[in-house]
Amino acid sequence: MQVNNLVIDIGNSRTKFAIFKNRKLVVSFPTSEPVKDVIKELKKDYPEVDSVILSSVRDYSNELIKQLKAEFPTVIELTEKTPLPLKNCYETPATLGKDRIAAAVGANSIYPDTPLLIIDAGTAITYDYVNNNNEYEGGFITPGLKMRFRALHEFTDKLPLLKTQAPLSPDGKNTSSSIIGGIQLGLEGEVKRITSHFSEKNTHLKIILTGGDINYFEKLLKNHIFVSPEITLLGLNVILEFSKDKMIN
């Protein structure tokens, strides 16, 4: 039986859509257009899609859910009560970001029974750990690169708004170099310390890297890395399939 799924991932700064056919990613794209308009277009282009999962780190309207249920036979809203193919050991699952657990599920589906650190370098940087018993244990959250530059600019009167620069060889002898060096070398130290922290849990740790600043982070992490820009979308599709199996059984 052919499986045709629509994945909708509403993030902090953009919304991503993906179509999966027989568990394989067919197309994915980010957009700033209204979600309801994109759904109508996708329905025309992919009329065979019959299931959808909606994940959001922001509030969304009941009208969106009504539209989805009117268009598709199966609609799953990702919440803390949604069945997952791995054990969630987070103490407060209701407060856990949907993107974090979805990325963990996606990584675990590729590397089951493997200790994993998923680094999502987006608006915020999240570090999430899955142990070799397929259990999500939690992780850390820190400000993303752009957020760090904006914070120095917006919370001071005179510091300028700067951007990431690479390659980096700051000398700290002027304001721009001081800001760029402080933020980027500081982040490099953060990444090394956090990856070391989780490596101490298991020396066979595999690192999964995703998010908008993926290219910058790839240069900081050179060993045992699997780069996957679509790991969160993959995880959402896995959760959708798992939920549908639960509904059938």
The answer to whether 15 and 35 have CB atoms below 8 angstroms apart is: yes
Catalytic residue IDs: 99
- Report the C-alpha dihedral over residues 228, 51, 71, 42, rounded to 10 degrees: 30
User: How do the domains of the chain map onto residue ranges?
Assistant: 4-77, 87-232
CATH topology of domain 4-77: Nucleotidyltransferase; domain 5 (3.30.420)
SS3 of the chain: helix, strand, coil, percent, to 5: 40, 25, 35
- Report the distance separating Cα 52 and Cα 237, nearest Å: 9
- Report the distance separating Cα 107 and Cα 234, nearest Å: 8
3-state secondary structure of 4: strand
What confidence score (pLDDT) does residue 219 get? Answer: 78
- Kind and range of the H or E run holding 16: strand 15-21
The answer to whether 136 and 112 have CB atoms below 8 angstroms apart is: no
Q: pLDDT tens track of the chain, all 249 residues?
A: 566 999 999 987 789 999 999 889 999 999 888 888 899 899 899 999 999 999 998 888 889 999 999 989 999 999 999 999 999 999 999 999 999 999 999 999 999 999 999 999 988 999 999 999 999 999 999 999 999 999 999 999 999 999 887 656 678 889 988 999 899 889 989 999 999 999 998 888 999 999 888 888 887 777 668 888 899 999 999 999 999 877 765
What confidence score (pLDDT) does residue 166 get? Answer: 66
What confidence score (pLDDT) does residue 16 get? Answer: 93
What confidence score (pLDDT) does residue 248 get? Answer: 67
First-to-final CA distance of the chain = 17
Asked whether this chain's domains 4-77 and 87-232 adopt the same fold, the reply is: yes
The arrangement of secondary structure in 87-232, i.e. its CATH architecture, is: 2-Layer Sandwich (3.30)
- Joined tokens for residue 86: 């791995």
Residue indicated by tokens 């904006």:
150
The answer to whether 130 and 107 have CB atoms below 8 angstroms apart is: yes
Residue type, position 204, single letter: H
- Report the C-alpha dihedral over residues 27, 33, 37, 39, rounded to 10 degrees: 30
